[in-house]
Chains A and B, each alone.
Chain A
């Protein structure tokens, strides 16, 4: 089959590799019909995620049709159309049973690395480094789905892929980010990053009772998408200081909730950005925490910070004094896809949510190298690419 394989920093290629096989009783094999490039795939593409190896198949946002099921899967059959959450959960451990699927104890076969780095083992994620399990990713014609009996949601055949695909990752990530904000009626929610996750977080924030949503980015086309589809007021941080603007727009108080939908490759302006860019290039800092710093200072006293952008390692110079003295709550996590996918599917099926507007590019799988390039460099107003195997 054809698959997108990582070759090194800023380099992927489409290779012919063997088809996946069933390896465990609870596995299924999926024929991929649509597979997106996630903003977090750009961290891998750019070489910022450790333990990705040359030749690894990447990609974790996908859907398709079941072509084979293992002996332990009784609730799926060949021909079922399904969407698959990006985090892999066993369904039986302490965490899965409490609906914290991305904290699954049992899906990462290489957990010792995480245990050393982070003190505990979290769930594996498709195509997202050996640290996170080393599973082959889904930017391919076929993919193996472990724990398929609990790890997929069946979807109707008469709805187009573009309305369903993002239930795999971008929508539940945004939705969970908003949920972690613990939004109260009347709250103002500020969201850093107007990619797909950020925009779905904004839409979710309104569903949860937010009064106002403020979006922060530097690309006009993304800010326009946030304004048009998520009813957000917008700040272009290359034109004004986001911190100053947020204060002025909130009567001097600051937003009640601040949500990071950017992560470890954040861009800032001026000397602070130079500091982080330099340290990261010299490998003295793995992650650039610009958004975290800005959120901590901008948030109102007693407010909540929600971190959905991906971080992997260590950061410098966080204003922890602001967090402590202002009494902020900080919450974070990879999304628990299996917890949200049924609810989100219902929203799509009953017409309350049509996420297909985020798709700016649809390309054949063979054009993955081009797709990664334009997405990384934000060329051609690229917000979201869907690859078709």
Chain B
């Protein structure tokens, strides 16, 4: 019997979800593999599997045509000479994140799943959003996404994977920001600089310093001549 178009769509969706799950768990570049899908959609689909196929497709159409598709995506991996469990524990307490993420002013945990984030913006301003944890697997994986009404629509995941031969843990962070446009977009662009990859790289390095060396190397406040 020929399959209906609904069956076909379900089949495609299930294949796609499986592909994303293996992509996110594997050793390759995640963002390359996602291509035209939004990270949020992929993360949600993997977590629940009930999401409609369309929701996983990146905002396109009019927005893209108007050149408003300012989505910022970054992916960065660093190896940390500590067991995954220790790194996961520190990260899972989201209120620890501003210790090494310089652009964050604070993260307040509201419930087991929900947290409130405040990031610094230029001129002493700030942007805020609530985020929900979409999925967590102890010592392995945490994904999150902002909820309705965020100043900045964002989502991401961090993955802790033991390095080969017991040489520490490979920590991968993938994030996606979709600023709504206008003044806030400009502010976000400044927060994340012209090179968001470099910024997330710096933040992961600070996380590594804190975990391995117990402190973050700095020269701020040292003497200098004129």
**Distance A174 CA – B214 CA, assembled complex (angstroms):** 32
CB < 8 Å neighbour of A17 from B198, B209, B213, B224: B224
Q: Which residues of A contact B67 (CB under 8 A)?
A: none
The verdict on A184 contacting chain B, using a C-beta distance below 8 Å, is: no
CB < 8 Å neighbour of B223 from A1, A13, A94: A1
**Distance A19 CA – B224 CA, assembled complex (angstroms):** 10
Please tell me if the beta carbons of A57 and B223 are within 8 angstroms of each other in the complex: yes
Within 8 A of B (CB), among A99-140: 105-109, 111-112, 115, 121, 124, 133-136, 140
**Distance A275 CA – B217 CA, assembled complex (angstroms):** 41
Q: A24-B218, A94-B168 known; A55 and B213 CB under 8 Å?
A: no
Mark each residue of chain B from 197 to 226: 1 if its CB lies under 8 Å from any CB of chain A, else 0.
Answer: 010011001001100111111111111111
Please tell me if the beta carbons of A3 and B222 are within 8 angstroms of each other in the complex: no
Q: A25-B214, A55-B226, A94-B79 known; A106 and B221 CB under 8 Å?
A: no
The verdict on A252 contacting chain B, using a C-beta distance below 8 Å, is: no
CB distance from B220 to the nearest CB of A (A): 7
Mark each residue of chain A from 9 to 26: 1 if its CB lies under 8 Å from any CB of chain B, else 0.
Answer: 000010101111101111
Please tell me if the beta carbons of B225 and A15 are within 8 angstroms of each other in the complex: yes
* CB within 8 Å: A-B pair count: 95
Please tell me if the beta carbons of B212 and A106 are within 8 angstroms of each other in the complex: yes
The verdict on B126 contacting chain A, using a C-beta distance below 8 Å, is: no
Q: A92-B213, A94-B168, A97-B81 known; A109 and B219 CB under 8 Å?
A: yes
CB distance from B87 to the nearest CB of A (A): 14
The verdict on A63 contacting chain B, using a C-beta distance below 8 Å, is: no
- Who on chain B is nearest to A89 by CB? B213
Q: A56-B224, A136-B222 known; A93 and B212 CB under 8 Å?
A: yes
Q: Which residues of A contact B81 (CB under 8 A)?
A: 92-94, 97
The verdict on A72 contacting chain B, using a C-beta distance below 8 Å, is: yes
**Distance A21 CA – B221 CA, assembled complex (angstroms):** 8
Q: Which residues of A contact B213 (CB under 8 A)?
A: 26, 90-93, 106, 147
Mark each residue of chain A from 23 to 35: 1 if its CB lies under 8 Å from any CB of chain B, else 0.
Answer: 1111000000000
- Number of residues of chain B lying within 8 A (CB) of chain A: 25
The verdict on B167 contacting chain A, using a C-beta distance below 8 Å, is: yes
Q: A94-B81, A136-B223 known; A108 and B215 CB under 8 Å?
A: no
Please tell me if the beta carbons of B219 and A136 are within 8 angstroms of each other in the complex: yes
Q: A106-B213, A109-B216 known; A19 and B223 CB under 8 Å?
A: yes
Please tell me if the beta carbons of A26 and B223 are within 8 angstroms of each other in the complex: no
Q: Which residues of B contact A97 (CB under 8 A)?
A: 81
- Who on chain A is nearest to B206 by CB? A109
Please tell me if the beta carbons of B225 and A17 are within 8 angstroms of each other in the complex: yes
Scoring A105, A106, A108, A121 by chain B CB atoms within 10 A of each residue's CB, the highest score goes to A106
Please tell me if the beta carbons of A55 and B224 are within 8 angstroms of each other in the complex: yes
Q: A57-B223, A136-B224 known; A23 and B214 CB under 8 Å?
A: no
**Distance A335 CA – B208 CA, assembled complex (angstroms):** 24
**Distance A13 CA – B226 CA, assembled complex (angstroms):** 10
Please tell me if the beta carbons of A92 and B225 are within 8 angstroms of each other in the complex: no
Q: Which residues of A contact B221 (CB under 8 A)?
A: 21, 23
Q: Which residues of A contact B226 (CB under 8 A)?
A: 5, 15, 54-55
Q: A94-B168, A105-B212, A146-B217 known; A112 and B225 CB under 8 Å?
A: no
Within 8 A of A (CB), among B142-194: 167-168
Question: Chain A residues in contact with chain B, CB under 8 A?
Answer: 1, 3, 5, 13, 15, 17-21, 23-26, 54-57, 72, 90-94, 97, 105-109, 111-112, 115, 121, 124, 133-136, 140, 144, 146-147
A-B contact pairs, 13 of them (CB 8 A): A15-B225, A17-B223, A20-B222, A23-B222, A24-B218, A56-B224, A93-B213, A97-B81, A106-B208, A109-B217, A133-B219, A140-B223, A146-B217
11 other A-B residue contacts (CB within 8 Å) besides A23-B221, A135-B222: A17-B223, A23-B218, A25-B215, A92-B214, A94-B79, A94-B81, A106-B208, A106-B209, A109-B216, A109-B219, A111-B202
